[in-house]
Amino acid sequence: MFADLITQLQEFVDTLPLALQVIAVLVIGMVPALEGDVAAAIGIVAGVPWLLTVLVGAGGTVLTTLGAVAWGSRIGDKRRKGERERKIMARVEKWGIPIAMFIGGFLVSVAINAFVMSAAGLNRTIVLISGIATAIFNTLFVALVAAGILQAIL
């Protein structure tokens, strides 16, 4: 039953221009609640070429993360920080941003994590690089899992 539905979906998606398929995956990747991992799963099940799906899905999340870091940094720059907060943030910045972004990327949107970290005053370059790496890893991981499951079903 699932195999028939997936085959019908893939046949329908094959009738659409590749540009439209790519735009759909990009838009899904840009939605903070969905991101590149959901875009990759949908794209692979729908029959969009997997490498293109991973690149475009992760690209959507990266674009959203760029905006979130820029917006969060503006807010963070306006906040006044006390000495204690600066010491705590320095420790988090030195050791915790990549790990927090990676773990948080599985639990909450990468873009939302990046926004919160930037607004808190953490180094936006490290937040951005960590967010991009997390988006790419999450998208690739889900794409490989979805491709494996799809292979087993079909």
Share of the chain above pLDDT 70, in %: 89
HEC-encoded secondary structure of the chain: CHHHHHHHHHHHHHHCCHHHHHHHHHHHHHCCCCHHHHHHHHHHHHCCCHHHHHHHHHHHHHHHHHHHHHHHHHHHHHCCCCHHHHHHHHHHHHHHHHHHHHHHHHHCCHHHHHHHHHHCCCCHHHHHHHHHHHHHHHHHHHHHHHHHHHHHHC
| pTM of the shown model | 0.82
The predicted pLDDT at position 6 comes to 86
Q: pLDDT, tens digit, for every residue of 109-141?
A: 999 989 988 888 888 899 999 999 999 999 999
pLDDT at 84 over 70: no
The arithmetic mean of pLDDT across residues 66-78, rounded, is: 87
pLDDT at 88 over 70: no
Lowest pLDDT segment from 9-18, 103-112, 138-147: 103-112
User: Residue 103's pLDDT band (boundaries 50, 70, 90)?
Assistant: confident
